[in-house]
């Protein structure tokens, strides 16, 4: 009977793929409205299934993974009911974790608390969590990541699943507090576990050391699908936070790319993965939780520029097409292997909270990919200035000791004798949504810093040149911590006191609030012409340099006050900077 069942599964998925083989795997083939509808269906169905809470506990990893998925769904869709659902969960449980404070499985819920705190800012939401995390840092013994013969195996990251549960919680605490000790702990212990559980040749993780010599029925190393899914998703979540300039970041990027390449090799014809990665024939049915995490990792890598879109986006979409076929009309995601530690049999009817959570994480990342691909399009040309001669900027105010000169149809801007910082304002008022573009070239690569201010208005809505506002002279605090509001992006950064910082920063003012560490901006020593495109689509802000995205951020209108809308744009340079500019244009959004 069991043999006949497996033969049926193989035939079923083979026929499914034959029918789908000729379908295009491009983002344009995804209907965004239908995608959201299915994600909401899965989220709502799973939210009603509470039978497992008595068995597993409402704050254990089973449910925490689902809650992480709900939070990602809220972030990608803005559907407020999911935020409220999670907020009420935290209140109900007094923002606690389970009592086994050193067990990674009980730290995963902290990721949700930290995300909720970013919006609500209620101290009690993270007080206990921070106490728990601090307890880890206060321990004196060296980490012991053995699983066998280790009575403290649940107190260290001895099993690969732990890398999804705990490290991102520490990283998020670092992102919230700025205290590097939390990120250091997460990275250092990740590396210790990696050095123990990762097979250097296969680029895959053993679940724990009990499986180092465990072979599958077909004499392959046993690598559990969901276990490796936990690791790959945890890697993506860590790299969302690890600064791109951190000396240990290359380790994580290299591990991610190597692991993704191996996972891609064992993707099956239906786009999904089997419980045993290197021996798919032993259990031929798809495994939805591991497959969801792999799909998420592929999409995250593409969205964040770590993976080649042409190679990995089709694989991700093929996986998504396979996953969505496992959701029934009620919203139940099937073929989820029950809790375990290795590949074991299960059926189409098997579902689990963490499976739905992984599905929501992948689907939310797909929404990001679609929106990134859609991109706003140029509408009506609002303003055009070639910046080719002095008459073009006749009425533009210069604040600070800056000077403009015009040569070869370019506007040069610098401070004579490097006297001081300066800002040159365009006098036009631009709407809350626009596409602006201009060209730049660095004329002095020794040092410099270049910024664009936009959506600039007085704190009470005044025009920034209103005489009631404080006089500005190019000194930064007059623009970031005074009586005007604006956003600003530093897209070239090679300061004399911070050489080759390079990373593009987006800040929201007043307050000098760093809201995003972006990608690398203009290279420190580049002497070529660069095309800059700044897009503000209401609360969504992005910037590209030569078509390469360096900033992409959505202002929630809560954490740092209301979304800034119409206002002026200004070009800022620090005193040792000499750039030239041309072809400044601003469009409406289509």
**260: β partners:** none
- Fold match, 24-369 / 378-589: no
Q: What is the mean pLDDT of the chain?
A: 93
- Euclidean distance between CA atoms 221 and 179, whole angstroms: 40
| Residue 136 pLDDT > 50 | yes
Residues 432-476 have pLDDT tens digits of 999 999 999 999 999 899 999 999 999 999 999 999 999 999 999
Nearest to 458 by CA among 446, 448, 445, 472: 472
- Return the pLDDT at 234: 98
What is the band of 25 on the pLDDT scale with cuts at 50, 70, 90?
Answer: low
Whether the CB-CB separation of 361 and 72 falls below 8 Å is answered with: yes
Structure tokens at 368: 């990001």
- Backbone φ and ψ for 237, nearest 5 degrees, come out as -65, -35
pLDDT > 90 fraction of the chain, expressed in percent and rounded: 84
pLDDT at 17 over 90: no
Each domain of the chain, given as residue ranges in start order, spans 24-369, 378-589
Is 168 within 8 Å of 234 (Cβ atoms)? yes
Fold of 378-589: Jelly Rolls (2.60.120)
- Sheet of strand 484-494, all strands in order from the earlier edge strand to the far edge: 398-399, 422-425, 568-573, 448-458, 484-494, 503-509, 513-520
Q: Are 424 and 571 in contact (CB under 8 A)?
A: yes
pTM as predicted: 0.70
User: What's the CA gap between 504 and 516, in Å, rounded?
Assistant: 8
Which of 115, 161, 208, 209 is flagged as catalytic? 161
Question: Distance between CA atoms of 162 and 193, rounded to whole angstroms?
Answer: 10
Under 8 Å CB-to-CB from 80, ≥6 apart: which residues? 74
549: nearest Cα among 489, 589, 500: 489
pLDDT at 530 over 50: yes
Residue 3 has pLDDT above 50, yes or no: no
Q: Is the pLDDT of residue 14 over 60?
A: no
Give, in words, the CATH class of 24-369. Answer: mainly alpha
pLDDT level of residue 29 (50, 70, 90 thresholds): confident
End-to-end C-alpha distance for the chain, whole angstroms: 60
Return the residue matching tokens 């599958």: 216
Residues 347-360: what's their mean pLDDT?
97
Q: Is 514 exposed, middle or buried (0-12, 13-18, 19+ CB in 10 A)?
A: exposed
Candidates 74, 33, 27, 32; CA nearest to 357 is 74
Give the mean model confidence (pLDDT) for residues 509-532.
92
pLDDT, tens digit (0-9, with 9 covering 90-100), for 555-590: 999 989 999 999 999 999 999 999 999 999 999 998
Q: Which residues contact 181 (CB under 8 A, 6 or more apart)?
A: 137, 174
- Contacts with 378 (C-beta within 8 Å, 6 or more apart), sequence order: 435, 587, 588, 589, 590
| DSSP H or E run through 120 | helix 109-120
- In this prediction, residue 146 has a pLDDT band, given cuts at 50, 70 and 90, of very high
Q: Which two tokens stand for residue 522?
A: 């203009």
Assess whether 161 carries a catalytic annotation: yes
Closest among 118, 246, 251, 92 to 173, alpha carbons compared:
118
Residue 56's pLDDT band (cuts 50, 70, 90): confident
């Amino acid at each position: 009977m069991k043999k006949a069942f497996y033969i049926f599964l193989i035939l079923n998925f083979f026929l499914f793929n034959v029918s789908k083989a000729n379908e295009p795997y491009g983002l344009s083939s995804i209907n965004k409205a239908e995608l959201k509808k299915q994600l909401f269906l899965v989220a709502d169905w799973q939210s009603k299934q509470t039978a497992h809470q008595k068995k597993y506990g409402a704050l254990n990893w089973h449910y925490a993974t689902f809650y992480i998925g709900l939070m990602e769904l809220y972030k990608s869709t803005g559907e407020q009911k999911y935020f409220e659902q999670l907020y009420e969960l935290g209140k109900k449980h007094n923002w606690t974790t389970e009592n086994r404070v050193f067990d990674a499985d009980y730290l995963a819920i902290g990721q949700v608390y930290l995300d909720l705190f970013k919006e609500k800012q209620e101290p009690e939401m993270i007080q206990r969590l921070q106490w728990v995390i601090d307890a880890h840092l206060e321990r004196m013994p060296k980490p012991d990541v053995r699983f066998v013969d280790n009575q403290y195996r649940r107190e260290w990251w001895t099993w690969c699943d732990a890398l999804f549960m705990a490290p991102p919680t520490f990283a998020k605490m670092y992102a919230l507090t700025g205290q590097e000790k939390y990120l250091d702990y997460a990275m250092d212990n990740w590396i210790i576990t990696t050095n123990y559980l990762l097979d250097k040749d296969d680029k895959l993780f053993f679940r724990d050391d009990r499986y180092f010599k465990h072979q599958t029925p077909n004499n392959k190393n046993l690598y559990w699908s969901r276990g490796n899914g936990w690791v790959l998703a945890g890697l993506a979540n860590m790299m969302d936070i690890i600064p791109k300039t951190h000396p240990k970041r290359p380790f994580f990027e290299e591990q991610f790319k190597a692991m993704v390449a191996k996972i891609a090799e064992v993707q099956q014809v239906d786009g999904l993965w089997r419980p045993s990665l290197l021996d798919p024939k032993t259990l031929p049915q798809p495994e939805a939780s591991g497959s969801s995490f792999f799909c998420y990792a592929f999409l995250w890598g593409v969205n964040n520029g770590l993976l080649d879109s042409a190679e990995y986006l089709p694989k991700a979409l093929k996986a998504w097409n396979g996953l969505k076929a496992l959701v029934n009309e009620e919203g139940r995601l099937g073929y989820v292997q029950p809790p375990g530690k290795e590949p074991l049999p299960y059926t189409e009817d098997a579902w689990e909270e963490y499976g739905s959570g992984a599905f929501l994480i992948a689907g939310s990342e797909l929404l990001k990919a679609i929106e990134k691909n859609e991109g706003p399009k140029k509408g009506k040309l609002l303003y055009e200035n070639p910046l080719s001669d002095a008459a073009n900027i006749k009425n533009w105010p210069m604040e600070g000791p800056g000077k403009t000169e015009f040569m070869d149809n370019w506007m040069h801007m610098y401070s004579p004798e490097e006297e001081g910082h300066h800002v040159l304002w365009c006098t036009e008022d631009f709407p809350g949504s626009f596409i602006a573009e201009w060209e730049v070239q660095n004329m002095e690569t020794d040092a410099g810093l270049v910024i664009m201010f936009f959506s600039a208005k007085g704190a009470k809505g005044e025009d920034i040149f209103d005489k009631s506002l404080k006089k500005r002279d190019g000194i930064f605090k007059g623009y970031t911590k005074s009586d005007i509001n604006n956003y600003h992006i530093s897209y070239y950064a090679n300061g004399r006191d911070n050489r080759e910082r390079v990373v593009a920063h987006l800040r929201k003012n007043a307050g000098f609030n760093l809201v995003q560490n972006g990608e690398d901006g203009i290279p420190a020593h580049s002497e070529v012409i660069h095309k800059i495109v700044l897009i503000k689509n209401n609360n969504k802000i992005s910037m590209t340099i030569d078509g390469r995205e360096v900033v992409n951020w959505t202002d929630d209108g809560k954490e740092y006050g209301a979304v800034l809308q119409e206002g002026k744009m200004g070009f800022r340079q620090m005193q040792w900077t000499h750039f030239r500019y041309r072809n400044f244009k601003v469009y409406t959004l289509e």
